[in-house]
Every structure is written in structure tokens, then in C-alpha cells.
């Protein structure tokens, strides 16, 4: 019986799916533009008119570093 339980060890997850925090998806510009013809959602995504998280952080830092008039 112990051998049967050991063989099933890899089939079951150690933690439940509901207990895991979801990861934020990585938005890749090249991959998004590659699949743009299949996209039936946002026109901005289809045309590549979006910022990745890294691009947005760069732009945000540049804007916040400028003095107000």
C-alpha cells in the first residue's frame, strides 16, 4: 500500500490552488504584437499603443522628476 501512495505523490499538489496568490502576467510587447491579428479586444493593444510595466515606471520617474511650473 505504501508503494501505491508513493507513486501518487507527484500527482497531487502540495497546496491548494485557492491558497496561492496569483502572479501578475508579464506583458511582452513583441508577443502581444505577434498575436495582435487574433485580438478582438482593445484596439490599443492591437496597434501596440500601450506601455509595459517597465516602460511605464521609466516614464513615471521622468515625469515625477520634473519640477512643477
pLDDT per residue over 7-62, tens digit each?
A: 656 665 666 667 778 888 777 888 888 888 887 788 888 888 888 888 999 999 99
The size of the chain, in residues, is: 69
Banded pLDDT at 63 (limits 50, 70, 90)? very high
pLDDT at 4: 57
Annotate 33-55 with b (16+ C-beta within 10 A) or e (fewer).
eeeeeeeeeeeeebeeeeeeeee
Which is higher by pLDDT, 3 or 57? 57
pLDDT at 10: 60
Helix/strand/coil percent split, the chain, to 5:
50, 0, 50
- Whether pTM exceeds 0.75: no
> Residue 5 is placed in which grid cell?
501512495
Helical residues (DSSP H) of 1-69, grouped into ranges: 2-7, 29-34, 43-47, 53-65
Amino acid at each position: 500500500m505504501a508503494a501505491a501512495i508513493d507513486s501518487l505523490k507527484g500527482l497531487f499538489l502540495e497546496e491548494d490552488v485557492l491558497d496561492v496568490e496569483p502572479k501578475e502576467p508579464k506583458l511582452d510587447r513583441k508577443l502581444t504584437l505577434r498575436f495582435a491579428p487574433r485580438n478582438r479586444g482593445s484596439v490599443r493593444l492591437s496597434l501596440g499603443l500601450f506601455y509595459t510595466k517597465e516602460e511605464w515606471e521609466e516614464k513615471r520617474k521622468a515625469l515625477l522628476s520634473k519640477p512643477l511650473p
